[in-house]
Amino acid sequence: MKTSNVLLEVRDVAREFDVSRPWLNRVIENQPKAILKAVDGVSFSINRGETLALVGESGCGKSTIARVVCGLYTPSRGSVIFDGVDMAKASTSEQQQLRKRFQMIFQDPYASLNPRWRVGKIIAEPIVSHGIMTDKEQIKKRVDELLTQVGLSPQDQEKFPHEFSGGQRQRISIARALSSNPEFLVCDEPTSALDVSVQAQILNLMKDLQREFGLTYLFISHNLAVVSHISNRVGVMYLGRLVEMADTKTIFHRPLHPYTQMLLSAIPDLKMTGRQRTPVAGEVPNPLNPPSGCTFHPRCPYANDRCTSEAPKMIAADDGSMVSCHAVEERRIPIRLAA
């Protein structure tokens, strides 16, 4: 892997949220500050033109990562490096130049479009705010082109978001994201509010656009089937940490981390092969008070004393996947071939 090939690098990023009660309550009730570690030491990199997916259950920190990468949150620790430039150290003008090059698509196509703006204005907003074009006619032509690219009609410029269905709104979001000619799109659960047939339309569209414009995606999702379809590499998150990262094929055929194995076995079996499932035990612990050592140990069938006391580090496994698990390192886990 050449360094120039890496478009985005996330180095040891952590993000904490202060969720304490008000100061006066804390003093009266003698409570400590409550710090929620939404993301705790996550590192990964994304190559140009590839799709990296982050999966995990609710509260695992995947959306927080998306927002940190986009600069909507500042990281509490660590750095985000886009095309060789550290976002935190870049000057304001440099940042502005960089910001043009990545965009975000959000989960809820109802909340992410301003209901009082016409579609044309919504899509043109990034063009105007980045000062890419100033001529009105030129902007209108560009919006026409974008609408056609995402499968809508140029006449839709004059409509308001409420006149569109969920899938069409998500197409508008995509057109808006594409309007500043970005190289990199952060997609936070872009299809989870949509029905399956509409989801298929959007996923196909995203793949087509990637091929056409050479886009790079960071794709956040809780749906493993969607992830297996769209991504090249997958990172599995649990309680703010990455537990495993590997090629999509590798991770779905040979999951190493016990949590990944559990997640894969929990997916309803559409083909009804009658495969034996591992019973899924327990629930995600409260992130305010995560378990010691490896945070997965209370639910892990392979946990031992080391797991309860020492947090595992990311290590490279034989097949090139990265995994953070003592049991995998010590080869205590039988290799399980899924599907």
Partner 1 sequence: MTTPLPLPLLEVRNLRVQFPTRRGLLTAVDDISLSIAPGEVLGVVGESGAGKSLTGAAIIGLLEPPGRIASGEILLNGRRIDNLSPEEFRKIRGREIGAIFQDPLTSLNPLYTIGRQITETILTHLDVSPAEAKKRAIDLLNEVGIPAADKRIDHYPHQFSGGMRQRVVISLALAAQPKLIIADEPTTALDVSIQAQIITLLKKLCREHGTSIMLVTHDMGVIAETADRVAVMYAGRIVEIGPVAEVIHNPQHPYTVGLMGAIPDLTKEVERLTQIDGSMPRLNAIPSGCAFNPRCTRKVEVGSRCTTERPGLLPAGKTQAACWLYANDGANDGANNPANHNVNAPQTVAV
What is the binding site for partner 1 (CB under 8 A)? 57-58, 165, 167-168, 195-201, 203-204, 207, 222-226, 228-230, 252, 262-272, 277, 279-280, 283-284, 339
268 vs 320, beta carbon nearer partner 1:
268
Least distance to partner 1 from the beta carbon of 124, Å? 25
CB-CB contact of 317 with 255 (8 Å): no
284 vs 314, beta carbon nearer partner 1:
284
70 vs 245, beta carbon nearer partner 1:
245
Least distance to partner 1 from the beta carbon of 240, Å? 16
3-state per-residue secondary structure call for the chain: CCHHHEEEEEEEEEEEEECCCCHHHHHHHCCCCCEEEEEEEEEEEEECCCEEEEECCCCCCHHHHHHHHHCCCCCCEEEEEECCEECCCCCHHHHHHHHCCEEEECCCCCCCCCCCCCHHHHHHHHHHHCCCCCCHHHHHHHHHHHHHHCCCCHHHHHCCHHHCCHHHHHHHHHHHHHCCCCCEEEEECCCCCCCHHHHHHHHHHHHHHHHHHCCEEEEEECCHHHHHHHCCEEEEEECCEEEEEEEHHHHHHCCCCHHHHHHHHHCCCCCCCCCCCCCCCCCCCCCCCCCCCCCCHHHCCCCCHHHHHCCCCCEECCCCCEECCHHHHCCCCCCCCCC
Least distance to partner 1 from the beta carbon of 48, Å? 20
Please work out, in degrees rounded to the nearest 5, the angle formed at the alpha carbon of residue 174 by the alpha carbons of 171 and 177.
155
5 vs 204, beta carbon nearer partner 1:
204
Least distance to partner 1 from the beta carbon of 15, Å? 21
Least distance to partner 1 from the beta carbon of 283, Å? 5
78 vs 161, beta carbon nearer partner 1:
161
User: What CA–CA distance (Å, rounded) separates 73 from 94?
Assistant: 18
8 vs 113, beta carbon nearer partner 1:
113
100 vs 207, beta carbon nearer partner 1:
207
Least distance to partner 1 from the beta carbon of 82, Å? 29
Least distance to partner 1 from the beta carbon of 67, Å? 20
90 vs 198, beta carbon nearer partner 1:
198
Least distance to partner 1 from the beta carbon of 338, Å? 8
